[in-house]
Structure 1
Amino acid sequence: MKITGNLIDGTILDTSTGETIDVTNPADSQQVVGRVPAMTAQDIQSVYGAAVTGARIWRETGVLARGEILQAAAACVRDESDMLARLIVQEMGKTLAEARVEVKKTADFFDYYAGQARLPYGELLADGRPGTYARVVHEPLGVVLLITPWNDPLLTPARKMGPALLAGNAVIIKPATATPLIVLELARIFNTVGLPAGVLGTVTGRGRDIGGSLLEAKALKAVSFTGSTSVGLELQKQLAGRPVRVQTEMGGKNAIAVLADADIAVAAKEIVSGAFAQAGQRCTATSRVVVVRGVADQLIAAIREHMLALKVGAGDAEGITVGPVVSAAARKEIFDHIDRALGESAELLEGGAHPPEGVSEHGAFVSPTLLRVTRDQAIWRDEVFGPVLGILAVDNEQQAIEAVNDSDYGLAAAVFTSDLGAAERFITQAEAGQVSVNHPTTGWDVHHPFGGFGYSGSPFKEQGLDALQFYTRTKTVAVRAL
């Protein structure tokens, strides 16, 4: 069992009270895999105090030196990749193969932003006044708070920390209560490779106990949040009226359109991967399929065939392709969605509101589920953060696009077609921040700008060069030589 403290001012510390929170294994709730401090409001003050000092030091550190720290952290993540991947499996539940991909992409994020240190920054502008030149400068904001989720407990922190640190900010990170251990390991790595004290601080604890203290701090300049839509919207309300920048990456109800000329074999394979990998617990997971009626039966048969090959179990067991969901509470919520859909006359094609055979009764396992649905059922609109896929048949391409857009969310969408014109029409008309052709809704690389429309998120994009915009402010300077 791993027992560890938070990184505060360059030192790993316990709480002022000594109270802890148990971290359990989703594949076996009776197994405690670690304990972390349950921090208090007083502890939060210490973290912010260190961050204010750290922000001054880090701002004055050259951008090349910042990049070197990120590069060193990336190398350390790769060196410790096996341990980190196994820890992700233990506290989050995804398969070992999925965890290894997450660790690799985490290192890729840090390397990518380390490389940005050598790009041009700022610009010179003409000025109409004699003997004067102007320039644009991009400055760090100061102290930023990152609130990260449990479904990608290492990758999402890296997605936010990379640009935030390169830009020169001090970072305070609050991981999800269910999966804090991997973030504390990441903090240890940054501390080991020489990040100055105070530049990174970690916060573990229950939101009801420390949420107010985290958001009320006068030093806070920006919050980047990934999580549920309800929490993200509440966060926006709490910070409204203050000079605090807010970035939210929230829910999704991602849809794939399968047109009449699609390669059904390819579409079915990618749909099953997009819907059921990581037990459907990805913001970009495919949760709706809209298929032109003439090929609907063929597609359903192919999807079911792939689903029957899935094997559910503990993420570190041999041959497992779908791990548990994160907790028993999450499993119950998913089962409630399925039961409600069946009560509203959805047709069960595979799976259902029950765990698969042969798994531990103490694990949060869910059978991958396929439902034939209609647009007037709650399952069509409500986000189900788990391995549940709804399928709807329509008459033509235009109806398919309309159905894909029939959502308050707008994170990811995809189309399967052999018609380039149809693909371009879909790209133009799809109301989503991420659009794929003949690929699933998942699978975005570290240099791809990422973020959704509508209730899926705020205008600020993550990843790529766009991410740096959120963590910097623009200053215009005019200089007259006398």
Structure 2
Amino acid sequence: MTTTITTISPISGAAILTRSGVTESDFPPILATAQKAFSTFRHTHPLAARQQIVKKALQILASRSDELGKEITEQMGRPIAYTPKEVATAVKRGEYLLKVSGEALKDTPGEVEEGFKRWIRKEPLGVVLVVFAWNYPYLILVNSLIPALLAGNTLLLKPSPQTPTIAEHMVSIFEEAGLPSGVLQTVHCGDLPTLSKLVARPEIASIAFTGSVAGGLAIQQAASSRIVPVGLELGGNDPAYIRADVDVAWAAAEIVDGAVFNSGQSCCSIERVYVHADIYNQFLAEVVNVLEGYKLGDPLDAATHLGPVVSARSASTIAEHVADALANGARLLTPDVFSAGQALGQTFVRPELLADCTPSMRVMREETFGPLIPVQKVASDAEAVALMNDSSLGLTASVWTSDLATGEELLHLIEAGTVFVNRCDYPSPDLAWTGWKDSGRGVTLSRFGFEQFVRLKSFHLKDYPK
């Protein structure tokens, strides 16, 4: 029985798109198409040919950044001032992965020995299932799509029901660039039980999942009946530490951007802020000044900084975290400049500055995924690092200081996959994007991002003795 997936606009609350979701009976033809495409594509299109297709597809994608960006705004609510830049950044990320693909996928020679020839080859896996989130759909998809395709795999792209058209556009763009039909397919799926059954199918050779910790655990469980690589990019509760030696106004502006950009709906946005006692009050005052310059409003207005959060449920979770913090002693310091935006609807959530937070508050322990700036005072570097590491999550962390040497020393002590000094919320394509603890498993981006989409095959040849 076909299921209908409905996309609800976070701007208006109205239904704006519907798609037919797959059922278990749809799996055999989808998987047969992917397997048939794999059996030919890997041989008929060597790496050089695949690189040319990717290069052309990225050029097409770049040419459509404005129209595709507007669609992101309509479907998930990020302001139009920023969404075309996501497409442009996805192109740049793809171009970097394309540039390093020859080096990342080349053979590795064995030791030289007379009479022998040995090498290690990176072979494609087969059918790769990519399950990706709505908050940065093009960026997240590129992380897996480009290396998996360049390695010679075929892919099933499962988009979020909130942004269903992204996978469809990418399939169309890559086929326009010369990719054979069937190498990429879109699979719409609106429920976890059906997706779990697809994950469990033996034809699926690899799974790349980006989403919540709960979703990642469910995917991992669904794949547990067999040996199959599962890459998980999950949540974050990412901390920032502001040392006393910074320019406080500058640091405040950077922290606000890192915490509330995209309404805080990023796995690597700043979710906890630790500020040295010597500048604590000054920092709070400067954050208020920064927030006074932000506009919450219609995301189709180019002057808007913050649009709605993705759903009424998300808005409710954010409100619960704020209420818990206030009930446990936090102070709300948000300037009263957002009332016009809030009047647009429940999903238009203002950025909240919460002072005097403590480690027991939900806002400091859980991933809020909203535009909150919870701040706690600390007395030393050691206290800050201990609090930063006191989390089940470990995606990114940042230290803000004019003393780069000390900043670097502190990074060595912090438990996270990516650590920054004087920067945050930025997956650099030349660095491994990887989560520690419950933030994930596996790697995307960098030369290492190809490894979850290949398997090694060792070749060992001995001269014929006659």
Whether the TM-score (by the shorter chain) exceeds 0.5 is: yes
For residues 77 and 207 of structure 1, what CA distance do their matches in structure 2 show? 29
In structure 2, relative to structure 1, the CA distance for the partners of 1:295 and 1:38 (3 Å cut) is same
Question: Helix, strand or coil for the counterpart of 1:97?
Answer: coil
Partner of 2:324: 340
Contact persistence 2:101–2:147 (CA under 8 A): no
Q: Deviations over 1:237-285 (max 9, x none)?
A: 2222411101101111111111111221221111000001100000010
Q: 1:318: Cα distance to partner?
A: 3.1
1:105 is the counterpart of 2:100: no
For residues 356 and 221 of structure 1, what CA distance do their matches in structure 2 show? 50
In structure 2, relative to structure 1, the CA distance for the partners of 1:64 and 1:269 (3 Å cut) is same
Contact persistence 2:411–2:419 (CA under 8 A): yes
Contact persistence 2:239–2:272 (CA under 8 A): yes
Candidates 153, 156, 160, aligned match of 1:172: 156
Gaps of 5+ in 1: 1-15
Candidates 412, 431, 444, aligned match of 2:427: 444
- Higher mean displacement: 34-43 or 266-275: 34-43
Partner of 2:273: 289
Over aligned residues, Cα RMSD in angstroms?
Answer: 1.9
Q: Deviations over 1:411-452 (max 9, x none)?
A: 11111111233212211101111111111x202232222122
In structure 2, relative to structure 1, the CA distance for the partners of 1:184 and 1:293 (3 Å cut) is same
Contact persistence 1:29–1:363 (CA under 8 A): no
1:47 is the counterpart of 2:30: yes
For residues 65 and 408 of structure 2, what CA distance do their matches in structure 1 show? 40
Question: Helix, strand or coil for the counterpart of 2:333?
Answer: strand
Candidates 380, 383, 389, aligned match of 1:396: 380
In structure 2, relative to structure 1, the CA distance for the partners of 1:39 and 1:241 (3 Å cut) is closer
In structure 2, relative to structure 1, the CA distance for the partners of 1:67 and 1:360 (3 Å cut) is farther
In structure 2, relative to structure 1, the CA distance for the partners of 1:146 and 1:363 (3 Å cut) is same
Partner of 1:357: 340
For residues 355 and 336 of structure 1, what CA distance do their matches in structure 2 show? 19
Contact persistence 2:398–2:421 (CA under 8 A): yes
Q: 1:346: Cα distance to partner?
A: 2.0
Q: How does 1:74-93 map to 2 (within 5 A)?
A: 74-93=58-77
For residues 358 and 457 of structure 1, what CA distance do their matches in structure 2 show? 35
For residues 152 and 101 of structure 1, what CA distance do their matches in structure 2 show? 11
Contact persistence 2:342–2:350 (CA under 8 A): no
1:246 is the counterpart of 2:241: no
Candidates 460, 463, 466, aligned match of 1:481: 463
1:37 is the counterpart of 2:20: yes
Contact persistence 1:34–1:181 (CA under 8 A): no
Counterpart amino acid of residue 417 in structure 1: T
Q: Deviations over 1:317-362 (max 9, x none)?
A: 131001111111111111111112222222222179x984345544
In structure 2, relative to structure 1, the CA distance for the partners of 1:97 and 1:448 (3 Å cut) is farther
Partner of 1:456: 439
For residues 356 and 242 of structure 1, what CA distance do their matches in structure 2 show? 53
Partner of 1:3: none
Candidates 284, 287, 294, aligned match of 1:300: 284
Candidates 97, 109, 114, aligned match of 1:124: 109
Partner of 1:9: none
Q: How does 1:72-471 map to 2 (within 5 A)?
A: 72-119=56-103, 121-126=106-111, 131-208=115-192, 210-350=194-334, 356-359=339-342, 361-362=344-345, 364-372=347-355, 373-439=357-423, 441-458=424-441, 460-471=442-453
Question: Helix, strand or coil for the counterpart of 1:50?
Answer: helix
For residues 256 and 193 of structure 2, what CA distance do their matches in structure 1 show? 40
Task: Please give the TM-score of this superposition, normalised by the length of structure 1.
Answer: 0.92
Q: 1:230: Cα distance to partner?
A: 1.1
Q: 1:223: Cα distance to partner?
A: 0.6
- Higher mean displacement: 235-244 or 155-164: 235-244
Counterpart amino acid of residue 446 in structure 2: G
Question: Helix, strand or coil for the counterpart of 2:244?
Answer: coil
Contact persistence 2:297–2:348 (CA under 8 A): yes
Identity of aligned residues (%): 31
Task: Please give the TM-score of this superposition, normalised by the length of structure 2.
Answer: 0.95
Counterpart amino acid of residue 87 in structure 1: E
Candidates 20, 28, 42, aligned match of 2:12: 28
For residues 232 and 360 of structure 1, what CA distance do their matches in structure 2 show? 35
- Higher mean displacement: 113-122 or 231-240: 113-122
Contact persistence 2:196–2:219 (CA under 8 A): no
Q: 1:97: Cα distance to partner?
A: 2.4
